Amino acid sequence: MERALDLAEGAAGGGAPRPAVGAVVVARDGETIVGEGATQPNPGAHAEAVALDMAHDAANGGTIYCTLEPHQFRSTTPPCSQAIIDAGIGRVVCPTVDPNPQVAGRGLEHLKSAGIEVINDVDDASQQRADELIEGFAKHVKTGLPFVTVKWAMSLDGKIATRGGDSKWITGSAARAHAHSLRYRSDAVMTGIGTVLADNPRLTARDPKSGTRVYGRPYIRVVVDSNAKMPDDAALLEEDGEVIQAVSNGEAANRRCEVIMAPSQTEDSVDLAAVVRHLGERGCINVLVEAGERLTGSLFDCGLVDKVVVYMSTDKIIGGSDALSPVGGSGPSVIHDVTRLKNVRMEQFGEDIAIIGYVG
């Protein structure tokens, strides 16, 4: 299962609006891997089909490990459950039921009705990885909206930059590598015009395994730019992939990228809910936000955040009343109304700590 999860994670960000899935076929001896596959870029083959094709006759009597329930209906590809049956697979190990209402357990029932043993129980770590792989798909298939993750890096005293705007680097290389993996697995990365003007980021991604730069990922970069201030020589405009400029006034919009007119009822601001809906309509299932306090705070104020990833340095205190904080916006007036996280966990990256939680 661990290998199947690795394959799925490598496909994340490349198959939207379909989920990233990994599959491994083990021969009848219970040890030899004879086939493996991952979701191919849309509308390519599903992971199970790729793995079974590689295994060929060696799949007969073997076991297939799938990170997500095989579907039982014909979509852009033939039913994977039927392919598993036709291959003579004897056992299926699958930790996660497909949240798509068209599947929702029917794929596993199809396998069981053919006499195939189905095992759902896996260790807790594998279950967590499998669930996280489809969290964007699960939201999108039910609501049409993408799953929005906000991330930032901060010092021990909660600052994202010095009073002079310097932030390179608050966290170490291990934490930054993990942040790149989030970009790699996201369909779109959103930032604000303030970040573009201050830092001129490229918002590129690196392969989570090799650390090498991956061109064309993420596929879409979104700049929330209410008054259309993005310069023609912004670094992110030179990268592969699409750039969307979300504005409230399109008169001065940048002609080098796609422009979304999304004025809100508040003067000189963008309707962020409309932007998120647009990304969902474009097939984006995972959106990563890397922005300053204004955009981050506004997303929280609008209730658009699903997940938070905070990298915290354990050895740096910035200080200063004018130093930048991660979350602005209006915020609540009483503690009762604060944003609360659930399923919070901490992970260590070098000397830094990542706090990961879901908006409850």
Three-state helix/strand/coil letters over 347-360: EEECCEEEEEEEEC
For the annotated catalytic residues, the residue numbers are: 48
Asked if 108 and 246 sit in the same domain, the reply is: no
**How many domains, in total, are found in the chain?**
2
Q: Is residue 136 part of a domain?
A: no
In sequence order, what DSSP letters do the residues of 152-201 get, joined into one string? EEE-TTS-SB-TT---TTSS-HHHHHHHHHHHHT-SEEEEEHHHHHHH--
Whether residue 36 lies inside any domain: the answer is: yes
Give the CATH number, domain containing residue 100.
3.40.140.10
- Rounded Cα distance between 227 and 41, Å, is 35
Q: In the chain, what are the helix, strand and coil shares in percent, each to the nearest 5?
A: 30, 25, 50
Residue 339: predicted pLDDT: 95
Q: Do 261 and 338 belong to one domain? A: yes
* CA nearest neighbour of 3 among 30, 28, 29, 26: 26
- Residue 83 sits in which domain range? 2-130
The reply to whether 88 and 175 lie within a common domain is no
Q: Based on the domain organization, do 96 and 162 belong to the same domain?
A: no
Same domain? For 112 and 156 the reply is no
Q: What is the pLDDT of residue 252?
A: 65
Q: How far apart are CA 144 and CA 277, in angstroms?
A: 8
The model carries a pTM of 0.91
Buried b (16+ CB within 10 A) or exposed e, 268-287: ebbbbeebbbbbbebbbbbb
The enclosing domain of 217 has a CATH number of 3.40.430.10
> Do 230 and 275 reside in the same domain of the chain?
yes
Long-range contacts of 123-132 (CB under 8 A, 24+ apart): 126/1, 126/2, 126/5, 126/95, 127/95, 127/96, 129/5, 129/9, 130/5, 130/8, 130/67, 130/68, 130/95, 130/96, 131/96
* 123 and 236 share one domain: no
pLDDT of 250 reads: 67
Asked, for residue 140, whether it belongs to a domain, the answer is: no
Report the alpha-carbon distance of residue 94 to residue 87 in Å, rounded.
Answer: 17
Q: Regarding beta strands 147-154 and 188-192, do their DSSP bridges make them parallel or antiparallel, or are they unpaired?
A: unpaired
- What are the backbone dihedrals phi and psi of residue 258, each rounded to the nearest 5 degrees, phi first? -70, 140
Express each pLDDT in 291-348 by its tens digit: 999 999 999 999 999 999 999 999 999 999 999 999 999 999 999 999 999 999 999 9
- Beta-carbon neighbour count of residue 68 at 10 Å? 30
> pLDDT digit string (tens) for 179-216?
998 998 899 999 999 999 999 999 988 776 777 777 76
Answer whether residue 135 is part of any domain: no
pLDDT tens track for 19-30: 999 999 999 999
Does one domain contain both 73 and 191?
no
Q: Give the C-alpha separation, 306 to 187, whole Å.
A: 15
Average pLDDT, whole number, for the chain? 92
pLDDT of res. 360 = 86
How confident is the model over 224-250, as a mean pLDDT?
90
